[in-house]
């Protein structure tokens, strides 16, 4: 794993956007795996800036998001589809037909999961997958207990995750308790992985991901099985790593 410890959220966002921009320039028809949550918002802002000011071209890019809440129609204000429209898709020249997010309101959820896996395969697989990390070490919505063999499926969210996401909803009982998520196997099949972590609430998960046991109890630990993972984290997210580990990483 390649580790970058940078000063703060802004530096993390810039570094992450830079990695994606290089990928798009190297391969204009890249297949991007995209993430939601609070962490990548700054990265998307920077990508939008690069598009507007530097002409970063998304016209041939394909995207697949990691996950979507079960029960929310695409147009719901808290759906991940809405998040992606607001943060990126509506602000760059990506072809809307090339953007993929599982449909949380699909009548047959199992069929939707299978369809999603097929679409990823049909696009030739994911070139670079962006990930955040949950406080409990989840990636996508692969909660503790998810094995390395999991594909896109319906998952039950843990209480911790529902609580963490409640801030986006008007009341706690509106927060969905299920989601469709790419599996660990789907994520590990991406050619490259870029994981972002910011803030002290992620420090323990980051430490266990890098130094703990390889276990379904900390789904992000499986990333150590992948040959090309870059972790960009700010100082707070890196605060539980040994000084020697931090010193050995590329500084900002």
Out of 32, 43, 50, 66, the only residue in the binding site for ligand GLP (CB under 6 A) is 66
Give catalytic status of residue 170 as yes or no.
no
35 belongs to the binding site for ligand GLP (CB under 6 A)? yes
The H-or-E segment that residue 232 falls in is strand 229-234
Query: How far is 147 from 34, CA to CA, in rounded Å?
Result: 21
Query: Which is closer to ligand GLP, CB of 134 or CB of 183?
Result: 134
Give catalytic status of residue 143 as yes or no.
yes
Residues 6+ apart with CB under 8 A from 20: 32, 43, 47, 128, 130, 194
**Minimal CB distance residue for ligand GLP:** 132
Query: How far is 116 from 125, CA to CA, in rounded Å?
Result: 11
- Region 67-96 residues binding ligand GLP, contact defined as CB under 6 A: 67
Catalytic residue among 23, 112, 127, 143: 143
Among the listed ranges 30-38, 92-100, 118-126, 205-213, the one in contact with ligand GLP (CB under 6 A) is 30-38
| Paired tokens of 130 | 């962006």
Query: How far is 240 from 30, CA to CA, in rounded Å?
Result: 35
Query: Which is closer to ligand GLP, CB of 67 or CB of 112?
Result: 67
Catalytic residue among 136, 142, 165, 234: 136
- Region 8-27 residues binding ligand GLP, contact defined as CB under 6 A: none
Terminal Cα-to-Cα distance of the chain (whole angstroms): 17
Out of 4, 64, 141, 222, the only residue in the binding site for ligand GLP (CB under 6 A) is 141
Out of 132, 137, 176, 216, the only residue in the binding site for ligand GLP (CB under 6 A) is 132
The H-or-E segment that residue 178 falls in is strand 178-181
> Could you count the other beta carbons within 10 Å of the beta carbon of residue 139?
30
Given the rule CB under 6 A, which residues bind ligand GLP? Answer: 35-39, 66-67, 132-134, 140-141, 161, 165
């Amino acid at each position: 794993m390649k580790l970058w410890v940078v000063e703060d959220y802004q530096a993390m966002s810039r570094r992450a956007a830079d990695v994606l921009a290089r990928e798009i320039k190297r391969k204009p028809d890249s297949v991007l795996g995209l993430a939601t949550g609070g962490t990548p918002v700054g990265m998307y802002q920077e990508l939008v800036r690069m598009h507007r000011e530097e002409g970063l071209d998304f016209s041939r890019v394909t995207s697949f998001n990691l996950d979507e809440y079960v029960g929310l129609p695409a147009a719901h204000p808290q759906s991940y589809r809405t998040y992606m429209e607001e943060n990126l898709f509506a602000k760059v020249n990506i072809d809307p037909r090339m953007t993929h997010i599982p449909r949380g309101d699909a009548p047959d959820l199992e069929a939707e999961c299978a369809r999603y896996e097929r679409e990823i395969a049909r696009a030739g697989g994911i070139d670079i997958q962006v990930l955040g990390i949950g406080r409990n070490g989840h990636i996508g919505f692969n909660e503790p207990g998810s094995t390395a063999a999991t594909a896109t499926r319906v998952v039950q969210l843990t209480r911790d995750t529902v609580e963490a996401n409640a801030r986006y909803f008007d009341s706690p009982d509106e927060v969905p308790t299920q989601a469709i998520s790419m599996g660990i196997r789907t994520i590990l099949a991406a050619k490259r992985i870029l994981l972002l972590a910011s803030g002290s609430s992620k420090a323990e998960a980051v430490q266990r991901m890098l130094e703990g046991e390889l276990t379904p109890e900390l789904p992000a630990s499986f990333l150590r099985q992948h040959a090309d993972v870059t972790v960009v984290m700010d100082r707070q997210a890196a605060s539980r790593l040994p000084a020697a580990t931090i010193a050995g990483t590329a500084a900002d």
